[in-house]
Structure 1
Amino acid sequence: MNQYLNKIALTFLIVFSAVSCSDFLDVVPQDKILESQIYENEAGMQNVHNGLYLSLANNNLYGRQLTMDAVEILGQQYNMPSSHTKNKMASYAYAESNPKAVFSNIWEEAYKTILYANKFLESMDEHAGIVSQDKADLLKGEVLGIRAMLHFDMLRLYGPIYKVSPAVLAIPYYDKPVTVNEPLLPAQEVIVKILADLDTALTLLHKDPVLTTGKYTPTSDFDGNLYYSKNRGNRMNYLAVKCLKARVLLYSGDKTGASTVANEVINFVKSNTLFPWTPFLEATNAANPDRTFSSENFFALSDYTLYTKQRDLFDSNLKDTQIYAPILTRLTAVFESNDNDYRSLPSWKVPVVGGKTQKTFFKYEDVDEKTKLFRLQIPMFKLSEMYLIAAETAPVAADGITFLNTLRFNRGLTNLGTTANVTTEVTKEYKKEFIGEGQLFFYYKRINSVTIPNGSAASGNLTMGAAQYVVPLPDAEINFQN
């Protein structure tokens, strides 16, 4: 990864015109001058901070590969037979050129963004006093949450099946902007570091405006500077960090801890009106459907090229060898032949152009009203996941059914019976709830499901194991570690 670090440092300097690379390259003192100029004022700090979110929306991260593309292919969300351009990835042929390049790019972009985050944190400390403590805490808390999130998703993708092999070497953890490569750590040690970052982030974010005014309404706090209080739903805010902590705890096998955190989020939402369930008429509105249930999203990533990606992946004019679309019988099975599900009708339709007879994906299609706040957003952490975690970790099965029925009611479905199997029903909801959001494959890996539905066949399952669930580290990283 050394070749990445030098290139990353230089890129950071050029792209953001913000953070010095002198610490990395140890050349050109002018870089240090540039850093001082950037961090000598509040606007410069905000510019670099905002750049981190632009990095998260990169195609190699949550703008595509970690939400609607690569990890969804691994989760068998689409039909990709032998004639499809992405068949090798759907077949878990990680040594083939296309999958190998895709996952190498994901790795490089993730660790590049981690370096950005670490450099930002270091520079904030070096230039303490430029902004108030409350402002600094908010900025640093968000960035620590981002750092933890990126490491966690690298662990989920490239690390072992945690349920089986938590002590196996997994990924490096970078908590400082260094040029030396860090060694691979056992997966369980990575989890410890992630949770430590999240706990620190929660402490720093304890005054987050998202807790008092919600996702979009600014406050007069922070000296009236709206950068810190408006659009909190597009930031790694306090509630998003809480959701991530619940996700991490569950992945690590700590069901009690995950249950506690998920219920804390649920009880917070119940105590106010800041994050209401999205009603049917808004989710299915003919002209402006809120297909991502935006009122329930604690953090949604802004992606100003989202509709280009919608066209590139899901447009009905694409050839059958290119389009990302499921086999109809598979999609029907996911939604249990129930088009009353709010997640089905607005996001899955037979298109009127392109000659396709199967339903295609419209979740990220643009809406008529261009002022809608939910436009250009990809869900990252949302209320429904907290209900699913609470259901899965409930000590009493009846309580698990209650959590599931709350989610089902708010998706237009009838209640489950008291004898329903919680695990089975949670799996069904993951299949429905997170299409195009990149969570299903990680769910299968977390529970170590030995078979999953074959997305490229009308029926039948694929046998899963470490060869399928564990993406190999990129060659550059392997060469260094060896």
Structure 2
Amino acid sequence: MKIQRIVLSIGLCCALGLTACEKVIEVEPEFAKDGSEIFTSLNDYEFALTGAYASFRQVGYLGSGGQTTGTWSALPDMMSDNLVQTSEDLGNWSDQTNWVYTSDDSDLAVAWLAAYSVVTQANLVLRNIEQFSEASPERVNRLKGQALAIRAMVHFDLLRYWGESLDRNSTALGVPYKTIVDAEDMPKRLSVKETYDNIFKDLKEAETLLGDVDTDINASNRAYIDQTVTRAILARVSLYAKDYVAAKDYATLVIEEMPLAGREDFANIWTDASEEEVIWSVAFSAGEGTAASGVHNAPSNRNRFKPSAELMATYDAAKDVRYASYFGTRTLSDTERTIVKKFLSRGTAMDNLVNWKVFRTGEMYLIRAEARALSGDALGALADLNTLRAARIEGYLPVVLAGQPLLDAIALERRKELFAEGHRWFDLKRTTRNLQRVDCGSTATNCTLASGAREWAWPVPQAEIDANVNISSQQTAGY
């Protein structure tokens, strides 16, 4: 399907399986069914923004369902050395976990469509909203800032999978950057550099706008993108782009607003009993799907992907609060299996119904530590590493490291802290490391992926290649 045909509204989001937007449809059932209607009030824009947030719950973006897992939730860990596919999974996602995908892979097409549907929903919010700037400037800032941040973040997520490189100034192929709602618009793939240019442009404008808004965006929860969330996105993108000064500065701004959770609160993050250090989470409610049922499906007690034994061995099981928060056991037919515990439920329902934590303060410490280490501030990097460990490990004694051992320690801590939160594949890709599965399991057919392999960048779905004349000659190298 061509990108220009993804002119989604809240209604079309629902047609793609997004049950969450039924509530919005009940309010405005005829709302912009094909994106062609021009909004006549800021209330229309509010509805469209609600649709953009709801679109993150789609199967193919963060949501899991049927044969498809959350492309930007659990899949990056499934494809890496963090999670091990089991025979209980029935072979779902084997093409991705074994890196044998092709341009006609249906899961890749679902992911492509899901991401650009969120972009189109954001673009609906941005279209002609300036007509209200004089009458309601702060409200326009709030709506426009969130939409710009959403558009930028989704294009960055696309770049992480489809970009032929993640280097800031690379001329290799990035992704199409969709900025308008137009059925005739057929954007080409930009270079990686051009893609980053657009991402940073949108994010920096969003940061400015969200500093002058009409109401506290996250007064009651952390379900929306405010200025702090935008700075967290900027910190992450800047780290990938190797702009270490910016990564450090943005991470610091976020850390000052959102301190780390204490050990006594950490476990409660994963049952949604606490929002300590949660910068932004995508909310899931009953009937709106789940983000991680593809890892351990709690209702059916199907252990589709188990945690890597090699990774588990790196934790202090007795003293590290993450161990008991992340890992557990469940019995099936008198057999006890190790499972990923952190997404089971909010209470005792065992329904995988928890919010997806897109950004946490723990990541900000690791971004700042890595940025400091790579920009000559070894002492600052070490301080961040020791601070994070002390917050997680009872009785932790600070270490003294420098040079490559310090960088290795930060990378390991990143793997441990962000386990199963959608980072590991991208961390290996952006640092051009080989992927070597020490714990490969019994179902995998491939256990090693070299850093220069074509599989680090996904092929563009063949339907897009066939339909979009401007992208027809821009298939990812090697496919």
The two structures have a TM-score, normalised by structure 2, of 0.81
Deviates more, 1:435-444 or 1:186-195: 435-444
Secondary structure, in 3 states, of the residue corresponding to 1:138? helix
CA drift of 1:239 comes to: 0.9
Task: Work out the number of aligned pairs and report it.
Answer: 437
- Change in Cα spacing, 1:292 to 1:175, as seen in structure 2 (3 Å) is farther
Partner Cα distance (2:254, 2:140) in 1: 25
Residue 358 (structure 2) pairs with residue 368 (structure 1)? no
Give 1:418's aligned amino acid: V
CA drift of 1:160 comes to: 1.4
Secondary structure, in 3 states, of the residue corresponding to 2:115? helix
Match of 1:88 in 2: 95
Query: Could you list the per-position Cα deviations for residues 179-236 of structure 1 after superposition, in whole angstroms to 9, with x for gaps in the alignment?
Result: 211111100110011000011001100136xxxxxxxxxxxx64xxx8x453351101
Match of 1:477 in 2: 464
CA contact (8 A) 2:327 2:340 kept: yes
Secondary structure, in 3 states, of the residue corresponding to 1:381? strand
Runs of at least 5 residues in structure 1 that lack an aligned partner in the other structure: 25-31, 209-220, 270-274
Give the structure, 1 or 2, with the largest relative contact order (CA under 8 Å, sep 6 or more): 2
Partner Cα distance (1:143, 1:299) in 2: 15
CA drift of 1:377 comes to: 1.5
- Change in Cα spacing, 1:96 to 1:136, as seen in structure 2 (3 Å) is closer
- Percent sequence identity over aligned pairs: 21
CA contact (8 A) 1:316 1:323 kept: no
Secondary structure, in 3 states, of the residue corresponding to 1:141? helix
Residue 181 (structure 2) pairs with residue 182 (structure 1)? no
Residue 262 (structure 2) pairs with residue 279 (structure 1)? yes
Partner Cα distance (1:13, 1:293) in 2: 30
Secondary structure, in 3 states, of the residue corresponding to 1:349? strand
Deviates more, 1:185-194 or 1:82-91: 82-91
Query: Could you list the per-position Cα deviations for residues 125-145 of structure 1 after superposition, in whole angstroms to 9, with x for gaps in the alignment?
Result: 34556x721111111111110
Give 2:205's aligned amino acid: T
Query: Could you list the per-position Cα deviations for residues 52-88 of structure 1 after superposition, in whole angstroms to 9, with x for gaps in the alignment?
Result: 1110121211234234432221223221268733332
CA drift of 1:51 comes to: 1.4
Give 1:333's aligned amino acid: A
- Name the structure with the higher helix share: 1
- Change in Cα spacing, 1:317 to 1:172, as seen in structure 2 (3 Å) is closer
CA contact (8 A) 2:168 2:196 kept: no
- Change in Cα spacing, 1:102 to 1:6, as seen in structure 2 (3 Å) is closer
CA drift of 1:18 comes to: 6.2
Give 1:407's aligned amino acid: L
Deviates more, 1:440-449 or 1:394-403: 394-403
Match of 2:475 in 1: none
- Change in Cα spacing, 1:467 to 1:357, as seen in structure 2 (3 Å) is farther
RMSD, aligned α-carbons? 3.3
Give 1:444's aligned amino acid: L
CA drift of 1:96 comes to: 8.4
Match of 1:213 in 2: none
Match of 2:156 in 1: 152
Match of 1:348 in 2: 327
Match for 1:20 among 32, 37, 55?
32
- Change in Cα spacing, 1:257 to 1:316, as seen in structure 2 (3 Å) is closer
Partner Cα distance (1:108, 1:166) in 2: 25
Match for 2:363 among 385, 391, 403?
385
Residue 416 (structure 2) pairs with residue 432 (structure 1)? yes
- Change in Cα spacing, 1:102 to 1:265, as seen in structure 2 (3 Å) is same
Runs of at least 5 residues in structure 2 that lack an aligned partner in the other structure: 16-20, 65-69, 473-479
Residue 238 (structure 2) pairs with residue 249 (structure 1)? yes
- Equivalent positions of 1:317-466 (< 5 A) are 323-327=304-308, 329-335=309-315, 337-353=316-332, 355-368=334-347, 376-394=354-372, 395-412=376-393, 414-419=396-401, 421-457=405-441, 462-466=449-453
Partner Cα distance (2:6, 2:149) in 1: 25
- Equivalent positions of 1:149-298 (< 5 A) are 149-163=153-167, 166-179=170-183, 180-207=185-212, 222=215, 228=217, 230-231=219-220, 233-266=222-255, 268-269=256-257, 275-284=258-267, 290=271, 294-298=275-279
Query: Could you list the per-position Cα deviations for residues 97-153 of structure 1 after superposition, in whole angstroms to 9, with x for gaps in the alignment?
Result: 7xx111111111111111111111114234556x72111111111111000000000
Match of 1:137 in 2: 141
- Change in Cα spacing, 1:154 to 1:292, as seen in structure 2 (3 Å) is farther
Match of 2:129 in 1: 124
- Change in Cα spacing, 1:309 to 1:445, as seen in structure 2 (3 Å) is closer
The two structures have a TM-score, normalised by structure 1, of 0.81
